[in-house]
């Protein structure tokens, strides 16, 4: 339970205690009936000024005075907390937590991202651009507005805890991306993830080359070394600048072209089992088919016009934003 909820429960507890003290005190000191004691407690706390159930004794007056002072302090505490709860964003945070819990229960075929650092945040943005549902696991106590807007659901905790992975819906997930800077933790999370979901696609970060084989043995399908790739990329900007600029252009880094994957199952029925020539892709949309991947995983670069996209296969296409949109509208199912 977070701090805000604890304070709220504490305030409610004090309120119940105050009512109990009032009822008990009036019954013991003034010999009131239960109904009269409840009535006196209510008018004392609310300060509405109605007449007493029965005239008060001196002891009753002293008790009532002390009780009023106590409740004034209690009301001041509750009002100040309520103001902070509303205006400091605690109410918004509690609503977000409630919505988050509901969303987690509905998630399936989603992608889990462990860690919302530099690599994790980029992974989440890319997933959302592609329309993927995304759950983020992070051990930071504060959920930033940017994360709340990007992720479909958030789990606060350490991903090495299997209960946290289960809470994130790993048993129903399509894939997990592990971006933690600690290689040992990444290996442990990979092992747990593979055990919890044998069919899960696992992509893990590695900081050291020696960890790559360990992650593969633990069950990772792909291992990425951001530092290695970054250093290689920077060196090739000197040794092969035109190649790197071209690759950046293909990846959309320079904002000119997009490269997309098209699965057989995504095509409209009239274009399934149809050749590139018959589909007339280039003339209809301006998009180029760069590669064909068979259901066995083999790639054919610059496939001939006679190539037919078969079940389980993929086309890799290239075009600018407008051309890709035309292709999606014309050839893909809604």
pLDDT, tens only, 240-249: 888 877 777 7
Q: How confident is the model at residue 110 (pLDDT cuts 50, 70, 90)?
A: very high
| Residue 51 pLDDT > 70 | yes
Q: How confident is the model at residue 93 (pLDDT cuts 50, 70, 90)?
A: low
DSSP 161: S
Between residues 270 and 85, the one the model is more confident about: 270
* pLDDT tens digits, one per residue of 16-28: 888 898 899 889 9
Report all structural domains of the chain as residue ranges with CATH numbers, in order of start: 3-87 (1.10.287.70), 108-229 (3.40.50.720), 245-331 (3.30.70.1450)
* Average pLDDT of the residues in 42-51: 77
| Residue 301 pLDDT > 80 | yes
Q: Which residue, 115, 194, 190, is CA-closest to 157?
A: 115
What is the distance between the terminal CA atoms of the chain, rounded to a whole angstrom? Answer: 43
Q: Which residue, 84, 95, 90, is CA-closest to 142?
A: 90
Q: Please check whether residue 218 is in contact with residue 194, taking contact to mean a CB–CB distance below 8 angstroms.
A: yes
* Average pLDDT of the residues in 177-200: 94
Burial class (CB in 10 A: 0-12, 13-18, 19+), 168: buried
- pLDDT at residue 80, as a whole number: 76
Q: How many CB atoms sit inside 10 A of residue 91's CB?
A: 14
| Residue 186 pLDDT > 90 | yes
Rounded CA-CA distance 162/202 in Å is: 15
Between residues 9 and 217, the one the model is more confident about: 217
- pLDDT at residue 253, as a whole number: 52
- pLDDT at residue 3, as a whole number: 60
SS3 80: helix
Residues ≥6 apart with Cβ < 8 Å to 85: 4, 7, 8, 91
**Structure token digits, residue 123:** 């992974």
Q: Which residue, 132, 137, 61, is CA-closest to 100?
A: 137
Rounded CA-CA distance 273/245 in Å is: 35
Rounded CA-CA distance 321/285 in Å is: 11
Q: How confident is the model at residue 145 (pLDDT cuts 50, 70, 90)?
A: low
Average pLDDT of the chain to the nearest whole number: 84
Instruction: Lowest mean pLDDT of 75-89, 166-180, 185-199, 291-305, name the range.
Output: 75-89
Residues ≥6 apart with Cβ < 8 Å to 160: 185, 188, 189, 192
| Residue 197 pLDDT > 90 | yes
* Average pLDDT of the residues in 126-140: 87
| Residue 37 pLDDT > 90 | no
């Amino acid at each position: 339970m977070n701090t805000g909820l604890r304070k709220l429960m504490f305030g409610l507890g004090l309120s119940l205690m105050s009512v109990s003290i009032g009822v008990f005190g009036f019954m013991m000191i003034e010999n009131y009936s239960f109904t009269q004691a409840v009535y006196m407690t209510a008018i004392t706390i609310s300060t509405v000024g109605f007449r007493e159930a029965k005239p008060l004794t001196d002891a009753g007056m002293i008790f009532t005075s002390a009780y009023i002072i106590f409740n004034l302090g209690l009301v001041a505490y509750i009002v100040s907390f309520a103001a902070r709860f509303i205006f400091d964003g605690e109410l918004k945070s509690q609503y977000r937590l409630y919505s988050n819990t509901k969303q987690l229960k509905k998630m399936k075929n989603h992608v889990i991202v462990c860690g919302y650092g530099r690599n994790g945040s980029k992974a989440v943005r890319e997933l959302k651009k592609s329309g993927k549902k995304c759950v983020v696991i992070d051990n930071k106590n504060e959920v930033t507005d940017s994360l709340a807007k990007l992720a479909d659901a958030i789990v606060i905790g350490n991903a090495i805890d299997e209960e946290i992975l289960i809470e994130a819906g790993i048993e129903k997930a399509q894939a997990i991306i592990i971006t933690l800077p600690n290689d040992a933790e990444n290996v442990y999370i990979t092992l747990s993830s593979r055990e919890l979901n044998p069919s899960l696609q696992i992509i893990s970060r590695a900081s050291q080359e020696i960890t790559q084989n360990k992650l593969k043995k633990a069950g990772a399908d792909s291992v990425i070394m951001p530092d290695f790739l970054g250093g290689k990329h920077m060196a090739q900007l000197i040794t092969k600048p035109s190649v790197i600029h071209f690759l950046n252009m293909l990846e959309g880094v320079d904002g000119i072209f997009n490269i997309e994957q098209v699965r057989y199952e995504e095509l409209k029925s009239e274009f399934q089992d149809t050749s590139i020539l018959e589909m007339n892709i280039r003339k209809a949309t301006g998009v180029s088919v760069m590669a064909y991947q068979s259901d066995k995983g083999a790639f054919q670069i610059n496939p001939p016009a006679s190539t037919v996209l078969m079940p389980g296969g993929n086309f890799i296409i290239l075009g600018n934003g407008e051309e890709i949109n035309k292709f999606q509208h014309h050839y893909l199912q809604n």
